[in-house]
Homo-oligomer: A and B are copies of this chain.
Amino acid sequence: MSSQPPVLTPEHEMLNWGRLILDGVPYADIVGARDRPSDQGWFEYWMSRADDYESLGDECVRTAHTLSAGEYFYLAAICVQYAQFLWFDDKRAHGQRRKVELYRKAAPYLTPAAELVELSVDGTPMPVFLRVPDGAGPHPVVVLLGGLESTKEESRLMEDLLLARGMATATFDGPGQGEMFVHRELSGDFERYTSTVIDYLVSRDDLQSDAVGVLGRSLGGNYALKSAACDERVAACVCWGGFADMDSWDTETPMTMESWRYVSKVKTLDEAHVHVHQALETRDVLDQLTCPTYVLHGMLDEIPSAFLETLRQHAVNAPLTIVVEDEGDHCCHNLGPRPRFQMADWLADHLVTTDDSPAKEHADG
């Protein structure tokens, strides 16, 4: 492996404050993490914050302050996410269970509520959270895909942007993610899980079967491309900080490589390399991608921008909107809310039809 990056601790590697803040972690808690006592670990600090927020949420349920209850339980869940997300021992498993538990407590109190739908694939349970905007449907719907260590519980603020623009949202964990990790490691058929969710969504009267979008972040961007390529019901696709293949394995940081190994359930990094290289290849299906596709790439991302050339070469049948941010890091978390507004608006342009502004009028703007 060339140009070996410096060895980083999980804490240092994860200090992308932009990501934490845009996912909803309070700045006050980030300051608290920075200034925590020297004998308190990163994991312990955030788990303790989660406990505090859960207690506040419980009290709010008791006093019928339901809006705040939802906020506190969500804050608790997001604190746990960033407690555990780069550990690969008992902390990880414990954190994942806590996060699931806390988000389930938040779900009924969010606005709109997150409805828990129990689906399955090959007998493997696949809980899905569905949020539907107020008003007469049927509504367009966007399926949000998590990444290497993000799960269905952390996209609430992005969901809120979509909901405000008239789109329902669905989140789930696929192979290697969140609740599904105990049943299935990362695998090359994520798109089957997406399609099972879409099967369900198009069966609902309150959702619009011809206006289903997918939006995937980081590794989820890879899954979004393949899911959209393999399921013609997908009407719009957003690849947010994603990639088309694993040719750039050597540029990954050590912690990320370890994370690949963990979700692949293999013993060595070499095995992980082989596994993810096979599982995350999309070039063979990209010519089947035909729906409008929005790709956001930050030039400061570790993911090489060669990805964009790959995409242009292989996704020849899809109208591509490629947005390159010269100053953007991975997923452009360092650029504040703007890139998220722009993805939400683009999806609305392609999925939401209104009397005075038909969908696609603003396409590719």
Copies of this chain per assembly: 2
Chain B: minimal CB distance from A109 (Å): 12
A158 at the interface (CB under 8 A from B): no
A22 to B28, CA, bound (A): 10
A246 to B72, CA, bound (A): 37
A280 to B1, CA, bound (A): 69
A335 to B344, CA, bound (A): 30
**Chain A 104-146 per-residue mask, 1 if CB under 8 angstroms from chain B, else 0:** 0000000100000000000000000000000000000000000
Q: Which residues of A144-182 are within 8 A (CB) of B?
A: 164-165
Q: Given B67, B75, B336, which contacts A27 in the complex, CB threshold below 8 Å?
A: B336
A344 to B361, CA, bound (A): 40
Chain B: minimal CB distance from A262 (Å): 29
> Which segment, of A56-64, A219-227, A308-316, faces chain B?
A56-64
- Which residues of B are found within 8 Å of A60, using beta-carbon distances? 345
A191 at the interface (CB under 8 A from B): no
A56 to B336, CA, bound (A): 13
Q: Are B18 and A68 in contact (CB under 8 A)?
A: no
Q: Are A65 and B345 in contact (CB under 8 A)?
A: yes
A281 at the interface (CB under 8 A from B): no
Number of A residues, CB within 8 Å of B: 36
Q: Are A26 and B336 in contact (CB under 8 A)?
A: yes
Q: Are B31 and A71 in contact (CB under 8 A)?
A: no
A341 to B72, CA, bound (A): 10
Chain B: minimal CB distance from A64 (Å): 5
A51 at the interface (CB under 8 A from B): no
Q: Are A63 and B21 in contact (CB under 8 A)?
A: no
Q: Are A65 and B362 in contact (CB under 8 A)?
A: yes
A65 to B28, CA, bound (A): 32
Q: Which residues of A312-365 are within 8 A (CB) of B?
A: 334-338, 341-342, 344-345, 348, 357, 361-362, 365
- Which residues of B are found within 8 Å of A335, using beta-carbon distances? 28
- Say yes or no: A337-B26 contact (C-beta < 8 A), given A345-B60, A357-B64: yes
- Which residues of B are found within 8 Å of A362, using beta-carbon distances? 63-65
**Chain A 17-37 per-residue mask, 1 if CB under 8 angstroms from chain B, else 0:** 110011000111101000000
- Which residues of B are found within 8 Å of A71, using beta-carbon distances? 337, 341
Q: Given B21, B26, B345, which contacts A68 in the complex, CB threshold below 8 Å?
A: B345
Chain B: minimal CB distance from A28 (Å): 3
A357 to B65, CA, bound (A): 10
Q: Are A334 and B26 in contact (CB under 8 A)?
A: no
Chain B: minimal CB distance from A30 (Å): 9
A22 to B155, CA, bound (A): 20
A64 to B358, CA, bound (A): 11
Q: Are B28 and A334 in contact (CB under 8 A)?
A: yes
A69 to B363, CA, bound (A): 17
Pull 8 A–B residue pairs with CB atoms less than 8 Å apart, ordered by A: A18-B28, A21-B27, A26-B337, A27-B27, A31-B334, A63-B345, A63-B362, A65-B341
Known: A22-B27, A27-B336, A111-B164. 14 other contacts (CB 8 A): A18-B27, A18-B31, A21-B27, A26-B336, A27-B27, A28-B336, A56-B338, A64-B361, A65-B348, A67-B165, A67-B345, A68-B341, A68-B342, A71-B337
